Chains A and B, each alone.
Chain A
Amino acid sequence: AQKITQTQPGMFVQEKEAVTLDCTYDTSDPSYGLFWYKQPSSGEMIFLIYQGSYDQQNATEGRYSLNFQKARKSANLVISASQLGDSAMYFCAMREDSSYKLIFGSGTRLLVRP
């Protein structure tokens, strides 16, 4: 069964606007961590933001914030004030406390329009 689901294969956003990238997950483990990574065309994976299942507040890192809705099992990434350099693939990932593995979703390709 798919543990991490990203339903948007591709997204467009106008420069300087905000965009939300969706991520839902499935786990029965009460302790888990959720990660978002950016992958530019060069291929490297860039860590963006982390949310722990027990964290009381939504994570924020600069222009990135995570809309964590635990009951819905969703962890959407919000990018504010989009920049042309934000054009890339974005992956949501999860690590369960019962496993050391980081499992990735299928990704969303974001294109920022000037």
Chain B
Amino acid sequence: GAVVSQHPSRVICKSGTSVKIECRSLDFQATTMFWYRQFPKQSLMLMATSNEGSKATYEQGVEKDKFLINHASLTLSTLTVTSAHPEDSSFYICSASWGTGIRAEAFFGQGTRLTVV
């Protein structure tokens, strides 16, 4: 299957600093990339959807100034957690799709475990 690479896999940062997470589709051009957040033992909650060259669409309740998403190319999307606080500690996972329609498969990155101390 297609490969989506997410980096870093783990990051520890100090409160108040910003952290950037990269999501790359390695062998296909992703028309759409999605960012999810997962708390321990819970489901994946969609944070935002990004399309190449346009502004991300955020889900209700997600602060767009807190979680900056940039989709600079068809193979790269980044999520920047700005002024991180301990409550931002979580598992963040991206997925990338090509094509449209209900059958468009979502390929997931390995996830990033963020710990804010």
In the bound complex, what is the Cα–Cα distance between A104 and B36 (angstroms)?
A: 10
Q: Which chain A residues border B1 with CB–CB below 8 Å?
A: 47
Stretch at the interface among A18-26, A61-69, A71-79, A92-100: A92-100
- Nearest B residue (CB) for A96: B102
Interface size on B, residues (CB 8 A): 28
Chain B residues within 8 Å of A96, by CB: 102
B21 CB to nearest A CB, Å: 13
Q: How far is it, in angstroms, between the C-alpha of A95 and the C-alpha of B100 when the chains are bound?
A: 11
The reply on B95 being an interface residue by CB < 8 A is yes
Contact of A44 among B43, B100, B110 (CB under 8 A): B110
B43 touches A43 (CB 8 A): no
- Within 67-117 of B, Cβ neighbours of A (below 8 Å) are at 91, 93, 95, 97, 100-111, 113
Cα of A1 to Cα of B102 in the assembled complex, Å = 21
The number of chain A residues touching the other chain, given as a range, is 20 to 34
List 27 A-B pairs, Cβ < 8 Å.
A32-B102, A37-B108, A43-B91, A43-B93, A43-B110, A43-B111, A43-B113, A44-B108, A44-B110, A45-B44, A45-B108, A47-B1, A47-B105, A47-B107, A95-B102, A97-B101, A100-B49, A100-B97, A100-B104, A101-B34, A102-B106, A103-B46, A104-B45, A105-B43, A106-B42, A107-B42, A107-B43
Chain B interface residues toward A at CB < 8 A? 1, 32, 34, 36, 41-46, 49, 91, 93, 95, 97, 100-111, 113
